[in-house]
Amino acid sequence: MNLWLWNLAEALLMVGLAPLATAVVKRFKARLQNRRGPPLLQSYRDLAKLFAKQPVLAEHASWVFRTAPYVIFAATALAAAIVPVILVAMPLTAAADVIALVALLALARFFTALAAMDVGTAFGGMGASREMTFAALTEPAMLMSIFVLSIAAHSTNMTAMIDTVLNSGLSLRPSLAFALAALVLVAIAETGRIPVDNPATHLELTMVHEAMILEYSGRYLALIEWANQIKLLLFATLLLNLFFPWGMAQTADAVSLLIAAASWLGKLLVLFVLLALFETWMAKMRIFRVPEYLGLAFLLAILGMLSHYILEVGV
């Protein structure tokens, strides 16, 4: 029971800290570009403002358009609750494994795309078409790269996977390197960061995510924005905890939990600095280069799988 409560607390932590995480990335990016950047609490203020505003709907928006934000937010928040953040052994990881995690994110995306198609504007269709096309390539790449780990761990349960990495010591495995590279590429694409999509644009012909949510306003927009922020934190945590789980608490006592929380925050900061550096250094790709990029992620993941079989099985 205690563990369930702790799981709930971690989920709330993820959902609550998500806006801050996005603000931190923005801040790092701004500093790198010699700007001051918004204050760290600005994301919360934006959300509060949006929640308070009266939503404006398109004339022939249907119930799909109105329920989609709730489904998107619920699915993303549930996905965030599955990922172990501080404590390795979490009860919810047994309720839904990595495959379910990918599927929950896919559910959120499915409804985002449906909502985009709902009003019948060209922007919505364009965004949905592109998003689903890219997703068709990112999703298998993500599953494959995670499968490399789960085959090594003989489990698709995230707790078991993290345990395996924690206990196998610092043995360097080529398959894990491939899987990590693939998952990094996937995470960038899934969270809509540069070079795949630019989170800072509005009304550009190359936009993907923004094109889908163009018609949203008020609390609907707030929910979608928030879900998106959760997604960024979720992918960052997933990358860190699957491949660099050192420091995570294996027992639920106060000292190790504190250490784990501190190391999680530390690792997150490092990752976000890297992300900001990367986004400052790179330009956005042309839209039809993206499939090549995602194909690369898919190939890397399959290579990881093959190298696991060729080099590591039975060794």
Partner 1 sequence: MTNISWALAAPLLALAASLAGILLHSTRDNQRRLVCSLLLLSALAACGAGMAGLLSHPDTAVLPIGLPWLPMHIRLDALAGFFLLVIGVLLGAVALYSVGNLRHLAEHRSLTPLYIFLPLFVAGMQGVTIADDAYTFMIFWELMSVASYFLVTFEHEQDANRKAGFLYLLMAHLGGLLILGGFAVLYAAGGSFEFGAMRAAALTPPWASLAFLLAVSGFGMKAGLIPLHAWLPEAHPAAPSNVSALMSGIMIKVAIFGFLRMVWDLIGLEHTAWWWGALVLAAGSSSAVGGVLLALQQHDLKRLLAYHSVENIGIIAIGLGLGMIFAHYHYPTLAALGLVAALYHTLNHALFKGLLFMGAGAVLQATHSCDMGRLGGLIRRMPRTAALFLIGCISISALPPFNGFVSEWLTFQAALMAPQLEGTLLSALIPFSAAMLALAGALAAACFVKVFGIVFQGMPRSRAAAEACEADGWMQLGMAIPAVLCLLLGVLPVWILPLIDVVPQSLIQAGLGKSAAGGWLWLTPIAPERASYSPLIVLVALLLAVGAFLVIHLRSGEKRRTAPWSCGHPHLNPRMQYTAVSFSQPLRRIFADLYQPQDKLQRSDHGHPLLVKKLRYQVHVQDQAWRHLYLPIKRFSEWLTRRVDWLHHRPIHGYLAFTFVTLLLLLGLLL
| 77-106 residues near partner 1, rule: CB under 8 A | 77-78, 81, 92, 94-97, 99-100, 103-104, 106
- Please report whether residue 58 would count as binding partner 1 according to CB under 8 A: yes
Single out the residue of 17, 32, 132, 239 in contact with partner 1 (rule: CB under 8 A). 132
Single out the residue of 6, 28, 110, 272 in contact with partner 1 (rule: CB under 8 A). 110
Look at residue 87 and give its three-state secondary structure: strand
Whether the CB-CB separation of 104 and 79 falls below 8 Å is answered with yes
Single out the residue of 10, 25, 89, 147 in contact with partner 1 (rule: CB under 8 A). 147
Q: How far is the CB of 243 from partner 1 (least distance, A)?
A: 19
- Please report whether residue 269 would count as binding partner 1 according to CB under 8 A: no
- Please report whether residue 1 would count as binding partner 1 according to CB under 8 A: no
Count of Cβ atoms closer than 10 Å to residue 82 Cβ: 22
CA distances from 290 to 186, 198, 232, 303 (A): 11, 13, 19, 20
- Please report whether residue 119 would count as binding partner 1 according to CB under 8 A: yes
Q: How far is the CB of 90 from partner 1 (least distance, A)?
A: 13
**Gap between the Cα atoms of 134 and 163, Å rounded:** 32
Report the residue number, 24 or 160, with the smaller CB distance to partner 1: 160
Single out the residue of 130, 193, 231, 267 in contact with partner 1 (rule: CB under 8 A). 130
Count of Cβ atoms closer than 10 Å to residue 54 Cβ: 7
Q: What angle do CA 124, 79, 139 make, to 5 degrees?
A: 55
Whether the CB-CB separation of 51 and 221 falls below 8 Å is answered with no
Whether the CB-CB separation of 190 and 227 falls below 8 Å is answered with no
Name which of residues 157 to 196 contact partner 1 (CB under 8 A). 157, 160
Report the residue number, 110 or 235, with the smaller CB distance to partner 1: 110
**Gap between the Cα atoms of 274 and 136, Å rounded:** 27
Element (H, E) at 261: helix 254-281
Size of the site for partner 1 (CB under 8 A): 83
- Please report whether residue 129 would count as binding partner 1 according to CB under 8 A: yes
- Please report whether residue 121 would count as binding partner 1 according to CB under 8 A: yes
Cis upstream peptide for 245 (omega within 30°)? no
Look at residue 107 and give its three-state secondary structure: helix
Report the residue number, 143 or 234, with the smaller CB distance to partner 1: 143
Whether the CB-CB separation of 99 and 158 falls below 8 Å is answered with no
Report the residue number, 186 or 268, with the smaller CB distance to partner 1: 186
Report the residue number, 43 or 156, with the smaller CB distance to partner 1: 156
Single out the residue of 123, 235, 264, 272 in contact with partner 1 (rule: CB under 8 A). 123
Name which of residues 200 to 229 contact partner 1 (CB under 8 A). 203, 214-215, 219, 223
Q: How far is the CB of 25 from partner 1 (least distance, A)?
A: 25
Count of Cβ atoms closer than 10 Å to residue 146 Cβ: 25
